[in-house]
Structure formats: C-alpha cells, structure tokens
Amino acid sequence: MRETQLPKVFTRLFPVLLAFTLLLSVGLPLTAQEDAEAEPVLVSPVMRGMQVARDLVEEDLGATMRLRRWRFYEDNWTSIASMSLYGAAGIDNCTDSVPYDAKRDDILFGWTYIFTTTSNEEYQARVSFDLQDSVICDDIVVPPQYAPPPAPEPAPESAQAAEAQEVAIAVGPANAGPAGFELGGHVAGLDGAAVAAMKSARMTWVKKQVRHGISDGRDTIAQAHAQGFKVLLGALGSKSQLASNFDGYVAEFAEYVAHLARLGADAIEVWNEPNIDREWPAGQINGGSYTRLLQAAYQAIKAANPATLVISGAPAPTGYFGAAGCGDGGCNDDTFMAQMAQAGAAQYMDCLGLHYNEGVLSPTQTNGDPRGYYPTYFFGTMLQRGAQYFPASKVCWTELGYLSGEGMPSGIPAGFNWTPNDPVTVGEQAQWLADAARLSRNSGRVSLMIVWNVNFTAWGADPQAGYAIIRPGGGCPACGALAGAMAG
C-alpha cells in the first residue's frame, strides 16, 4: 500500500497548530488571540467549533462576551460525568430545556467549551465534531479527568482519616437511607465455625441467597436471629418467566418477596446483577424495566413488613458493552443505573446495592492497576460510579471481596487470574477488606458492607473459595483485621 504524502506546507504548519491547540487545552489566557483576524485562526477544527459555541452563547445572551479565557475538551456524551445530570445519552443531556423525548441521543461525541468572561461569568456549550449541532448547557460540568485539583485540605490526624476523607469527597453526602454503618458476611451455611468467625470480625449481618420457587430462607432467618444476627436475603427469580410473561411474573415475584418480609427478613436485595443476561432475559435488559420490578417488590415488602429494608439489586460491574452502554447481552452497570435513576428507582429502595469483587490493589489506591484503568477496578471509583446517580440514597455493598489463591489446590482460573505475576496474598486480602470497611464507614454514604464471602469452598471455574475469609485449614486472618476496622 502506498503511503499518503502530506503537502510540505502542511507539514511545516502542523507543529505550530498542534502547539497552539495544546496551549488552548490547558486554559491559558487568550485575550491577545481573541482580537486576532478570524481567517488564519479558524484553520483548526477546534477553533471553528469554538466560534460556533461562542456565537450560540452570544446569541442567547444578546450581547458580545469579553473573554478572560476559554477552554475545551473532547467529550463523550455517553460517559458517567455526562449522563449523571439527566440520565440520557447525547448532546442535549446537559440541559433540561430540551424535553427528554426530544433529546438528540444519536449525537454522542464532540467538543465541550467553557467560556470565562472578564467579569468571571462562565458559560458552557457543546458542539458536535461536524459542527452541525450545538447546545448551551445549564451548568458548568467538567469530567473528573479534566477538573483542576482540589484545594489542599488541612492535614488529617492520621493516614486512615485522609483515605476516608478522599472517598467521602468523591461521592458526596447523602441525606436519606438507613443510618449508621454495619458489617456482615455472605455465607454458604451458618455453621459453628461461620458464627464464630463472623462474631470475631464484629459482623452483625448474615446474607444468604434464596430463589423464588426453590427456597425462602426461613431456616437461615431462624438460625441467624438465634445467634443475634440480622438477615439479608438476596432474592432471585426466574429470567425465563420474566421473558415469557413480564407483568405476570413481576406480580408473582412481588408476592414472593412479601412472603420473605413476613418471615422476618431484616433486608431484601431485589434480584441479583440484573444488568447481564446471566440473570435477566437477553434483549430485555434495561434499568427502566428492572425499576418496574423493583417498584412492585418495594410496595409489596413494605405492605408486608414496613421495617424490612429494601436494597436494589446490585448490577454486575462491567464496561463490556463499550460506548454504546448496552447490547443484547446486557448493559454496563453505570448505564443501567442511569436508566434506573431516570425511571425513578430512588423512590423504591432504602439502599442502593453495589458489588465490588475485581480489585487487585488496596482500596486506598485510585490508579496503578496492571490491567490499566477502568472505574470498576478501584474501590473509590466503584463507589462513586453508583452513588452519583442517587445522591440522596445510602449505599449497601451487598458483595465486596478480594480473590486470593493462596493455599488453594490449584492455580486461579484464567478468567479470574488478573495479576499472575503478583497474586493477592491472604494478608493483603485481610488488610484490604479492613480498609474497605473503614473507608465505607467513614465515607458518610455506606450503610452496610457484606463481605463476599465467609465460608464458600467451591474452587473451579468460579473460584468462590478464593474469596472466603475462612481459609483452608480453618484460619481467618481477615477476622481480626475487620474487628480492628469496626472498633475504631
């Protein structure tokens, strides 16, 4: 294949244009450039986009802006930061002046411009890459990766306080939901060893999954209450029945969870990972559809036992579906939760369910993962990922764990072997669980953390035993670490 040759004049000009564009991107004052002749400056597509955005804002204001500076960034209007305001994809999702059903959800990429005037007023506008579409945003919203660093805070009393403060700032305050912070564990069975380990770790909750038509957890409720534990039942259903008769099965499932509440469940998680086709009918996965089931379940549970807490079904953390957000096999968890928020899910839960189970670093870290960067890899960004869509709701970690293959009979299965050159040790698992509990408690957003898991023993394609805090031989290094985190 012949290589295309650029004209020599363009080759000479390109470094100059590139350097000029980079200066703009860091927000340097542009007062001198502002009054330059338009023709040479507008060679750059970024500059042409800036002029479109500026003309739009000035037309709306009915006046010419005198600029102190302007800045821009390439934007993805399906991203978390973009969708968090109005729960929709597309160029118009930064303004509520465009009705939801009229938003241009097919225009997903372009530039966002922020203008700062000499009187320190700011305006934000978006322009599509082809310059054919634009809109003025209601507020100035900058994605975290482009935001300036926060002003330094006074030094906290300890490193632990600094870590907790960082997470609390990241997710913001909540003004609703269950009070306090409690710890629990997901059990395969509540035998004597499990009870002893959980009490030594200062756990007060037991989680067990039950399935409609198979089990209702009455034995677990009785055993747990007899030992002084509260009970969270993860209520699962039939995706095939959902697929064949959605409304009919929603009503049937709602009666099932009401039955669990009458039996004495202290909390019920409504479904499990409903954003993927392992748990929900393929081709029908949408946060709005799930919210219809959540609403029916919430109303039935509260009618049966108003004291039973309702936790939304934690989605599977994933970015598998890319920029589109959803496909026939499911939806990215952030897209799914944005859809839930748009459908009004906050009205039908006492706590937002989240999972975090693919960490290979301390929860105090926000970068450095050997797999690269994705928000679901890190504790802090995973918490923020869900909490941002429900700012008035508490969060419940209904599954949080770290996989360690130490002491297991064979290597970690390939699909879970995320760090073959630096495997997670049992000591790291113990410390990281304790750190996650401490950060959760101090964040101001988390009510409950369920450790995944206490005493599962399966070791195969799904290496459940590697997450267990009761390790081969019966020891529980994490128990003491968790007790310390809960003590102070």
Q: What is the pLDDT of residues 369-406, one digit of tens each?
A: 999 999 999 999 999 999 999 999 999 999 999 999 99
Which pLDDT score is estimated for 88?
Answer: 60
Give a yes or no: residue 3 inside a domain.
no
Q: Are 21 and 55 part of one and the same domain?
A: yes
Residue 145, pLDDT above cutoff 60: no
Domain boundaries, position 258: 159-487
Q: Are 123 and 219 part of one and the same domain?
A: no
Q: What is the pLDDT of residues 5-48, one digit of tens each?
A: 333 333 333 343 344 343 344 433 333 333 333 333 445 677 88
Average pLDDT over residues 47-71: 89
pLDDT bin (cut points 50, 70, 90) of residue 222 is very high
Give a yes or no: residue 259 inside a domain.
yes
* Backbone φ, ψ for residue 23 (5° rounding): -60, -40
Residue 79, pLDDT above cutoff 80: no
Give a yes or no: residue 151 inside a domain.
no
Which pLDDT score is estimated for 462?
Answer: 93
Q: pTM, whole model, 2 decimals?
A: 0.67
Give a yes or no: residue 5 inside a domain.
no
CATH number at residue 451: 3.20.20.80
Top-confidence residue, 292 or 101: 292
Give a yes or no: residue 7 inside a domain.
no
Q: Are 330 and 414 part of one and the same domain?
A: yes
Give a yes or no: residue 6 inside a domain.
no
d(CA 84, CA 80): 6
Q: Please give the helix or strand (H or E) that residue 75 lies within, else none.
A: strand 67-76
159 exposed, middle or buried (CB, 10 Å; 0-12, 13-18, 19+)? Answer: exposed
Q: Are 314 and 269 in contact (CB under 8 A)?
A: yes
Query: What is Dmax (Cα atoms) for the chain?
Result: 83
Q: Are 92 and 216 part of one and the same domain?
A: no
Give a yes or no: residue 154 inside a domain.
no
Domain boundary among 124, 146, 168: 146
Domain boundary among 82, 114, 146: 146
299 CA to centre of own chain: 26
Q: Are 182 and 263 part of one and the same domain?
A: yes
Q: Are 233 and 283 part of one and the same domain?
A: yes
Q: Are 30 and 89 part of one and the same domain?
A: yes
- Number of domains present in the structure of the chain: 2
Q: Are 340 and 412 part of one and the same domain?
A: yes
Q: Are 208 and 338 part of one and the same domain?
A: yes
Q: Are 326 and 286 in contact (CB under 8 A)?
A: yes
Query: How would you label 95-130 residue by residue, b for 16+ Cβ within 10 Å and e otherwise?
Result: beebeeeebbbebbebbbbbbbbeeeeebbbbbbee
Q: Are 119 and 198 part of one and the same domain?
A: no
Give a yes or no: residue 381 inside a domain.
yes
Q: Are 126 and 211 part of one and the same domain?
A: no
Q: Are 269 and 381 part of one and the same domain?
A: yes
**AA identity, residue 420:** P
Residue 169, pLDDT above cutoff 70: no
Which pLDDT score is estimated for 344?
Answer: 97
Domain boundary among 146, 180, 206: 146
